[in-house]
Amino acid sequence: MGNKNKTISFRVNEDAFETLREIAEERDISLSAVFRDYVDTLVAHDGQVQVVPKHELEKLREGESDEESFPPTVEVPKSFIREHERLELEAEHLREQLEEHKGYVNYLREQLERDHDDVEEVIQLEDLDAPGEEHSFRLG
């Protein structure tokens, strides 16, 4: 199996198309080559590509950019982080309690099954009220 080229097709508005054509003419390459270069760059950098105008590119190279770095970062207040950590600890505690309760329920079920075999007979109170039947029972 050789390395086969695939075709990607999409639509852009007229303004974007004209801008892309100008870029291609400026670089003296075909419009297809512009897209191939972009896709190659995108793949090489695992999707972490930022398209910027040429004059801003010089600023980025010199480290003078006023804009945030790519990918963007967000500052989070310490109170938010503390609250998040508190909630994580609480969730962990609740998970532990749930596991304890599940264990206790399983223990009770096992005990019920074990004791169920030892019980001779269970008499329902409704059965005692049946008319015409006289039974003597001993509570033990």
Q: What pLDDT, in 10s, does the model give residues 58-110?
A: 776 666 545 556 677 778 888 988 999 999 999 999 999 999 999 999 999 99
CA distance 71 to 64: 17
CA distance 23 to 17: 10
pTM for the whole structure: 0.34
Q: Measuring CA to CA, which residue among 55, 61, 5 is closest to residue 35?
A: 5
Q: Measuring CA to CA, which residue among 61, 51, 48 is closest to residue 23?
A: 51
**Biggest alpha carbon–alpha carbon distance for the chain:** 109
Domain residue ranges in the chain:
14-62, 78-121
For 15, list phi and psi in degrees, rounded to 5.
-60, -45
Percent of the chain clearing pLDDT 70 (strictly above)? 75
Sign, CA dihedral 37-39-45-49, equals positive
Residue 69: predicted pLDDT: 64
Q: What pLDDT, in 10s, does the model give residues 29-41?
A: 888 888 888 788 8
